[in-house]
Amino acid sequence: MRSGRIRLDRAVVQGFYDRMRVVAPAAYGAIERDRADGPGRAFAETACGRLAGSLEAAELRALGMWAHHWCVRFYDDDTRVGLRLLREIAGRRGLGWTVDEVRWLLDRSYAAGPAAVHRFDLPRAAAADLPPGVLPEWGDEATDLSRLLAG
């Protein structure tokens, strides 16, 4: 957690990890299947696309949080499939992101460092779905990419 930011309650964070654990096996399997397949298929035709299409909003947010955590924590040259999944989830509006989920995503993004160049894609998109002013500790920073990258 960046200094000066609101700390999330431990029970809330544990709830995030519990939700992510529910989707993790299917997510990992889908990512591995898509890695083995050739690129270029439409997202809906991929294992990740079928998984994402089968989930309700809360489950899709958990999938996004898991994929975000996985991609920024283990960022390397072979995260293309996970990053595509993140971009697809980030492109969906109206998922009902909560302030705490966005705070967690932003904190994980800052912790990842600049090597994970796509680390703010999902948190920025999720923050854009929140009402204005609900992240006062972030100000406009939550949706301003240039400020986010400046860290």
Nearest in space to 95 (alpha carbons), one of 120, 138, 118, 63: 63
pTM score: 0.85
DSSP, residue by residue, 98-132? -HHHHHHHHHHHHHH-TTSTTTTHHHHHHHHTSPT
User: Does the pLDDT of residue 136 top 80, yes or no?
Assistant: no
- Report which secondary-structure segment, H or E, holds 88: helix 80-90
- Domain assignment present for residue 3? The answer is no
For residue 5, tell me if it sits in a domain. no
Residue 107 lies in a domain: yes
Number of domains in the chain: 1
Contact 51, 27 (CB under 8 A): yes
Residue type present at position 54: S
Which uninterrupted H or E stretch holds 142? none
Q: Is residue 38 situated within a structural domain?
A: yes
Q: Mind listing the pLDDT tens digit for each residue in 50-92?
A: 999 999 999 999 999 999 988 777 756 567 888 899 999 999 9
Which tokens in the block code for residue 139?
A: 């100000």
Structure tokens given for 51 = 């998984």
The whole domain housing 52 covers 10-150
User: Residue 135's pLDDT is what?
Assistant: 83
| Residues 6+ positions from 7 with CB-CB distance below 8 Å | 1
Tell me how far apart the alpha carbons of residues 2 and 6 are, in angstroms, rounded to a whole number. Answer: 9
